[in-house]
Amino acid sequence: MKFFVDTADVEAIAELNDLGMVDGVTTNPSLILKSGRDIIEVTKEICSIVSGPVSAEVVALKAEDMIAEGRKLAEIAPNIAVKVPLTWDGLKTCKVLSGEGKMVNVTLCFSANQALLAAKAGATFISPFIGRLDDINLDGLELISDIREIYDNYGFETQILAASIRTANHVTQCALIGADVMTAPPAVIKAMASHVLTDKGLDQFMKDWAKTGQKII
């Protein structure tokens, strides 16, 4: 499973990238706002840090304008994946940009039918939102499973990019289902290393080591 980090915080991206924990980055208008930086400037810096796909999202609503924005964003770096919403205009944009050889990430997916349309339109990635479905008492992980089965049935090459991941358990379940990629905030990725028994065992080791009165260095 590939790990994308869902942030526009370049320091957090660099830290995870140095550990080999970043295969790509996803951003959106909300994350750009949080960064407080110009979208072109910060996206270009992220692309200089990460060699994998970096999703940069269009903000227009009509296909003609989305296509123009997508082409502009794609000029930032060769590893840009243009992010478009799963609307009819977004699908039109996906078809055009993917036909031009650009990577396209179709986002805000909440149904298997939407994912099927995105694959037909040539999406590089489909981003189903797990957490937001869970928020309204629907099973986000079930959606990942449904998309996996449909794509496997027909040999679609669109990669399932599990998004809106809130917990380390979401990551585990997505990996078991067979999502190609997951994107999560830095804090969720770091939380994957935590386990109460690891902490308990380390604490005991430290207490026993102190009793030996020894030093390694």
- Give dist(CA 4, CA 19) in Å, integer: 13
Q: Is 28 helix (H, G, I), strand (E, B) or coil?
A: coil
Among 62, 83, 102, 211, the active-site one is: 83
Ranges of beta strands (E only) in the chain are: 2-6, 24-26, 54-57, 80-85, 103-109, 125-128, 159-162, 181-184
Report how far apart, in Å, the C-alpha atoms of 177 and of each of 29, 110, 142, 191, 199 are: 29, 17, 9, 20, 29
**CA 162 – CA 5 distance, rounded (Å):** 11
137 touches 121 (CB < 8 A): no
215 annotated active-site: no
For residue 163, the cross-strand partners are 129
| Residue numbers annotated as active site | 83
